[in-house]
Structure 1
């Protein structure tokens, strides 16, 4: 669990560094972006290694039907995550579509994983995303995007479905079939 917790802490720290310590972050200059990117890659590696190595400590047994809800939520998560980048209509209604998609992703995973390592990983990432939204909302007022279109929503949905297929393939490759069986 130590690697998992270290990875989670590094993820949170790297993401919040710019907001919590703007002076030191600014002094790093453009090289700071590379450092933050490296820290994020290391954090993901630590989280994956820590999660896979963690002992299975059951907290509850998720009912089977939640797998279907999880899969629908994952399609929604990928769609919402991408809608900001594609300038879909929804991007004018959701201030932080990527973080909103990330929160949907975390909740979906909490629905189908009832063990301690999953609660630490997905619950911790959900908590980070909530804090990140709060910090960002306090930093500056929102200027709603004005140039949005339904074409962006369609593009986000198609990209989301492709990413869902890729994510499902990776899960299956790792020995976890998100569709059952």
Structure 2
């Protein structure tokens, strides 16, 4: 669990660096971007290693029907994440679509994983996303972008479905089939 927790700490610290220590970050210039990127990457690698190495310690038994809710929430999370890059009508519908997607993703995974490592990983990333939204909202004003063309939202739906299928294939490749049999 050490690597998992260290990875979470690095991930959170690197993401919050710009807002928690803005003067230091500004003095570092482009090197600060590199430090943050390295911290995020190292955090991600450590979280994956730590999660895969963690002993299975069951905390609760999720009901089998939560898999269906998870899959629906994951489809929504992929859509929300894509909203940040869309130029369609939905462009300005939400201030933090990527962080909202992370929150939906984390809750979806907490619904179907009752072991301690999952609670630490997904719960930790959920707490980070909530904290990140609070910090951003306190430090920046938001100018809602003007909506674009509706056809771009249709493209977003198609891309969402394709990415969801790719993610399903990756989960299957990793030995986790996300659909009940």
1:17 positional shift: 0.2
The answer to whether structure 1 residue 67 and structure 2 residue 58 are counterparts is no
Residue of structure 1 equivalent to 2:21: 21
Q: Distance in 2 between matches of 1:87 and 1:2?
A: 41
Which is worse superposed, 26-35 or 78-87? 26-35
Alpha carbon RMSD of aligned pairs, Å?
1.3
Aligned to 1:148: 148
CA drift of 1:171 comes to 1.2
Q: Deviations over 1:34-59 (max 9, x none)?
A: 22112211111100110011111111
- CA apart distance, 1:130: 0.3
Q: Which residue of 1 aligns with 2:79?
A: 79
TM-score, normalising length: structure 1: 0.95
Aligned partner of 1:55 in structure 2 is 55
3-state DSSP class of the match of 2:130? helix
Check conservation: 1:69, 1:108, Cα contact below 8 A: yes
Q: Deviations over 1:63-117 (max 9, x none)?
A: 1111111111111000011112113333322111111111111111001001111
Residue matched to 2:5: 5
Distance in 2, matches of 1:149 and 1:100, equals 23
Distance 1:152 1:128 in 2: 30
How far, CA to CA, are the matches of 2:67 and 2:165 in structure 1? 16
Q: CA contact under 8 A between 1:92 and 1:145: conserved in structure 2?
A: yes
Partner of 1:90: 90
- Tell me, which stretches of 5 or more residues in structure 2 are unaligned? none
**TM-score normalised by L of structure 2:** 0.95
Counterpart of 1:128 in structure 2 is 128
**Deviating 4+ runs (over 4 angstroms):** none
> Which position in structure 2 is the counterpart of 1:99?
99
